[in-house]
Amino acid sequence: MRKATIAAKPRPDSEASAVGQCLCGAVEVEIGTPARWAWHDHSSATRRAHGAAYATYVGSWRKRFRVTRGADEITRFKDVATGTTRSFCARCGTPLAYERARSAHMVNVPRALFAGRTGREPRYHVAIDQLQDWTYLGEPLVPLKGFPGIVWERPTRRKRGRTRGISD
Ligand SMILES: [Zn+2]
């Protein structure tokens, strides 16, 4: 017998989907693909909520978003001042969803939860004026001697200009 919960709602056979999960695997979510849109959020609230320079989200119509495992593990933080609710896994802390009262039909899911494609490239930026100067923006990197697997941005590279090769 089907339960009257979002978690038990079957996926329409005709709908393609993307499956995501939290770090510990307790919670699994699914969205219908292609996602509605995708963007990078540079706002201070999202930066702190994720503990990262910025977060990349895919927005899903609420009716195409499902919690397919671990609904009982989800904890929510409601920010009354901004009318937003952030959900995360109570076991491992992974952010799972970001919902805004002013767009109640959408559920925004961190892109990083999904290993596969979501059908939407993140071409948009929210709060770009809050971009941090320590955000990595693709500067040239070179191996760090003595630390296999670690690369770094030489502090002198910008002063020299970018016409020299990466192996200089
Ligand atoms: Zn978890």
pLDDT single digits (tens) 74-119: 999 999 988 999 999 999 999 999 999 999 999 999 999 999 999 9
Q: How far is the CA of 28 from the centre of ligand 1 (A)?
A: 9
pLDDT of residue 168 exceeding 90, the answer is: no
Ligand 1 mean position to 138 CA, how many Å? Answer: 30
With beta carbons less than 8 A apart as the criterion, state whether 134 and 151 touch: no
Indicate if the alpha-carbon torsion angle 163, 166, 167, 168 is positive or negative: positive
Would you say the C-alpha torsion 45, 72, 7, 94 has a positive or negative sign? positive
3-state secondary structure at position 69? strand
How many angstroms does the Cα of residue 50 sit away from the middle of ligand 1? 14
Percent of the chain whose predicted confidence (pLDDT) is above 70:
84
Report cis status (omega within 30 of 0) of the bond before 34: yes
Other CB atoms within 10 Å distance of the CB of residue 62: 13
The pTM score is: 0.82
Ligand 1 centroid, distance to 109 Cα (angstroms): 14
Query: Would you say residue 121 has pLDDT above 90?
Result: yes
- Which residue carries 């699914």 as its tokens? 30
> Ligand 1: distance of its center to the CA of 161 in Å?
44
Give the pLDDT score at 12: 61
User: Would you say residue 54 has pLDDT above 60?
Assistant: yes
Domains of the chain, with CATH numbers?
17-132 (2.170.150.70)
Return the pLDDT at 103. 92
Q: How many angstroms separate the alpha carbon of residue 70 from the centre of ligand 1?
A: 9
